[in-house]
Amino acid sequence: MGLKEDIEELRRLDVQAQALRTKPGFGQPDEVIWQADSGEDLLLVEADGYGGASVQEIEGNYPVDFTSKHERAYATEEEACGVARQLDEGDIDWDDIEKGGAGSGESEDDEDLEGDEEEDDEADEAEPDA
C-alpha cells in the first residue's frame, strides 16, 4: 500500500472509530467533556475515547500554556465528572483523592509510584547508617 492508500485507510478507520464511540456515548480521545473555573485554576474532565476519563486541575492559560497540578484517571466518564463536581463544590479535595478516599479512582501513575517506592527502599538499604 502506498502513502495515499494508507491515508485513505486511516480516514476510513477514524470515521468508523468515531461512530463506535457515539453508540455508547463515549467522548472522543482528549475531548474536554466537563470544565469549571476553580478559583485561579481550571478543573476539567478529559475523555480517553474508551469510556474512561481523567480529572485534571490546570494552572495557566489552558490550552496554550498550562501546567497540570493534579490528575487522576477514572474507569468511566461519569465517575470522573462526579469527582470533578465534588471538587468544584468543595465536598472533597485532592488530598482526599490521593489518600485513597472519596473519588480515589485509578491513577495512570500508580505503577510508576509503586516502582519508585521500591527503588527508594533499595536505596535506603544500601546506605550505611551514620
Q: Give the start-to-end residue ranges of the domains of the chain.
A: 26-125
Task: Give pLDDT, residue 38.
Answer: 79
Q: In terms of pTM, does the model score above 0.85?
A: no
CB 45 within 8 A of CB 53: yes
> How far apart, in whole angstroms, are the C-alpha atoms of residue 92 and residue 30?
25
Which pLDDT band, with edges at 50, 70 and 90, does 23 fall under? Answer: very high
The answer to whether residue 122 scores a pLDDT higher than 50 is no
Percentage of residues in the chain with pLDDT exceeding 90? 69
54 backbone dihedrals φ, ψ, rounded to 5°: -120, 145
For the chain, report the end-to-end CA distance as a whole number of angstroms: 66
- For residue range 47-102, what is the model confidence (pLDDT) as tens digits? 999 999 999 999 999 989 999 999 999 999 999 999 999 999 999 999 999 887 66
